[in-house]
Structure 1
Amino acid sequence: MRAATVTPGRPDDLRVSEWPEPAALDGELLVEGLLVGLCHTDLEIINGRIDSLPPGRDRMVLFHESLGRVLTAPAGSGFEPGDLVAGMVRRPDPLPCKPCAAGRSDFCLNGDYTERGVSHLDGFGSQRWAVPAEYAVRLDPAVGDCGVLTEPTSIVAKAWDQVDIVGGRTFSTPAIALITGAGPIGLLAAMLGVQRGIEVHVLDRVATGVKPDLVRGLGATYHRELATVPAADVVIECTGVGPLMFESVLKLRRNAVAVLLGLSTSDAQTPLSPGNLNDTLVFGNAAVVGSVNSAPEHYRQAAAALARADQDWLRRLITRRVPLSRWTEALTRSDDDIKVAIELAM
């Protein structure tokens, strides 16, 4: 079979490789790979900024956002041949630490977890892959190819879960949410907010094109200037841009919660008024929470959210597809790209 393979730190050596067929072990599903999605994390791996190789190897299969169809499933697994599935990314610390032992490797204390396509395990960018049944989630057939959005949707499902956990101390329900960034994560975070019946505002830089249209298609409000955004009960920051992160936190209302999802790629100094930030948090009983990765329960929440979504709107998030035979074309962005997917059969 064929697979998209890389040697981390060697962006000049990206290949479509002939790769060994997977062997489904006891309790594992054998899956026909349909699509994978390109994420900024994949670029970090290609450029060597993430230590990724499986032990003893000089190449790995890339991609952690997956969609596949079950070929074989063990009896009693809850899966059947033909089921649409997405694979979960993180595997727990083998020791394990207390969070991993509780099924929450997204909170791993020791950092000894592994991740499909990210850290020390091959990814899903091959024409067939195997996965333990407990690390797969079944998708509604109506979702179709948009099932490749399951993993990024699980990330924002966890963010909203953090809003519920931290915000639950205030005996109130959030009414207004600000989402910064209208990329895949921001749009999916906005979608989950709209599904909750919250008034959603999305901030991004572009003036025209697919991003503002997608925000308005949700029934949310699109902004290009933070000054036009009302104070919010929830802020979900998806850009990692330092100044915007601080400025968006200052939009928090009393008892509000901000969840930071964006990863910063710059060490540039950011002008900031520490006293203003301190007073916003202290006088407002506000909270700022970082969130990374997701747990199996968030994959299930993601699958349910995708099934509830307007499927026509959801399909517009996949703005470009490239075949596996030319998968490196996915790395060259166009202005209108939201989610780029690689078709594994081609």
Structure 2
Amino acid sequence: MLDRAAESLFWIGRYTERAENHARLIDVYYHIREDSIGPDEGVWRRISGAIGDSSAYLERYGEFNERSALQFLLLDTEQTNSLLTCVIQARDNLKKIREQLPSELWNLFNSFYLWLRQMTIGEVLAEPHRFFERVKEGLAAFQGTLVSIAMRDESWCMLESGRYLERSENIVRLLDSVCQTVEEKGQSSYSYLLAVLKSVGGYEAYRRLGIDELSMEEVASFLLLQETFPRSAHFALASFESNMKAMRSKSDRSGSSLEKIIRQASKARSELSWLERQDITFSSLGSVLQQLLATNNLLGESMAKTFFFPHGREVIA
């Protein structure tokens, strides 16, 4: 597989996952906002900080408010991490290698892009929940079609590795953001913890495990350590590792660089496996998250050095 194809596939996985994460998170925070009492500036500040750059927002828009925050996070093409920018980047990468993937995938994603591109902030504000549902449905349709018809070859492994590495990073950044909120809110943080679980579709799974308490420690343990939940950090890192091992068996890139990536992923996944619930406390959570974030960055850099040339063109987060 050519370096340029590997890079495009990797970033298709990352950008589509990131766009879905944005839609899930903002939609759930909308519910929090509707149930909150008082000014909602703090809500939009937290969302902007979780998935955007608050300093860049303030420089361009000034105060935090609903219309400006949604424009910045969803439709602002000058914002490198907006939902629309993520979709544009994924589409551009898909276009470069469209001959290597089923044409149905291009048609599906291009139609989704054209719909999103013509949306205005007024239309989003008119039916925000419907907008986010449409985004999630469009990305789910692309992912479902990919799973149904794509060959399980090197291309598949590369795309999936990007998707799961992005998922791991999203979980870490989400928990880091909500940890700060819980520290501020104290006993009134229930709605924010509930939002975290719902934003990743994990509320029912969390309850089925028989966990009675909704605390920062329990939610963090679930999203970091739960091996069977597809959006946990452990599951994401294990899936990334699995795809790298599959890549090793399917390609001629079995040298030291690929082995190093596999060892790095295995080490991160093993460290999570050894953690117990009692190891996740409010005081220790910050260091655990920072270590995971450093690991995700390291894996991203190793992927670039091994598979992409020249590298460093895309936006990590």
After TM superposition, the score normalised by the length of structure 2 is 0.27
Bigger proportion of residues as strand: 1
Bigger proportion of residues as helix: 2
**Which structure would you say has the larger RCO, counting Cα contacts within 8 Å and 6 or more residues apart?**
2
Larger Rg: 1
After TM superposition, the score normalised by the length of structure 1 is 0.26
